[in-house]
Amino acid sequence: MNLQEVQSAAIACIKTVATFIQEEAGKISNTDVETKSLNSLVTYVDKTAETLLVNGLSAIMPASVFLTEENTIEQGSGNYRWIIDPLDGTTNFIHQVPVYAISVALEKDGVIVIGIVYELNRNELFTAIKGGGAFLNNNMIQVKNNYLLANALIATGFPYYDFQQLDNYIRTLRFLMENTRGIRRLGSAAVDLCYTACGRFDAFFEYSLSPWDVAAGGLILQEAGGVVKDFSGGDNWLFGKEIAGGNANLLNDILNIINNSHS
């Protein structure tokens, strides 16, 4: 299978879905918003976008299966599996905060081999094929080679439903506030990972995430020369509900800070 051809076809599908999403921007009313769980929101835009993606990607690879956020298709297992977030940053979209993206990854036998994140508002397409580098609008990108935490801008996501680790998280934030250039919370993990991949952020960490939040962005960050780990320094970042990524030097500092805050 030619992954470059699959990626190109998937990008065309994603851009078609992006047009639909942007046509609906600003049209959402309170009656269009459903609450799946505490502060986890969904609209007809998420669901329709997911259906469009599933239909389009199924046409590209008829034997592939899917892992999706909105459960518009039965979850399946197979050699090739698409992992989809049709609208990462739904709360931003609802409130018209211009940071949200489509995130699509292709997994082969448990390994992510294609990652695509399309940030709609800036028309920024982040892509990667395993072993082939990472790109922003077809230009190769790299993580920032920053060794000093004091010079670092860190991205994170605030807990919005799982508050069990809140005290530890606040201790981590306090240390980073006092010892870095600052912390940013954009509201889209997929975008955070890609911004880290292209050097806008030096590192990113968050807990209570799902595979569709991080699959594509995680590969893009790795292919940009970054390292992606769970909080223990292991490789269970896709399904382990915790992720930290950045260049190898700063990532060790971030993991030490997180773990010291938990002790």
Residue 162, pLDDT > 70, answer no
Q: Which CATH architecture has domain 149-261?
A: 3-Layer(aba) Sandwich (3.40)
149 DSSP 8-state letter = G
Kindly calculate the radius of gyration of the chain based on its CA atoms and give it in whole angstroms: 18
> pTM (2 decimals)?
0.95
pLDDT of 217: 98
Smallest CA-to-CA distance from 68 within 80, 76, 60 is with: 76
**pLDDT confidence bin for 38, thresholds 50/70/90:** low
CATH top class, domain 3-140: alpha beta
3-state per-residue secondary structure call for 212-250: HHHHHHHHHHHHCCCEEECCCCCCCCCCCCEEEEECHHH
Phi, psi of 2 (to 5 degrees): -90, 105
pLDDT of 37: 66
Q: Across all residues in the chain, what is the average pLDDT?
A: 94
pLDDT tens digits for range 108-157:
999 999 999 999 999 999 999 999 999 999 999 999 999 899 999 999 99
Distance of alpha carbon 236 from alpha carbon 229, whole angstroms: 7
- The domain spans of the chain are 3-140, 149-261
Domain pair 3-140 / 149-261, same fold = no
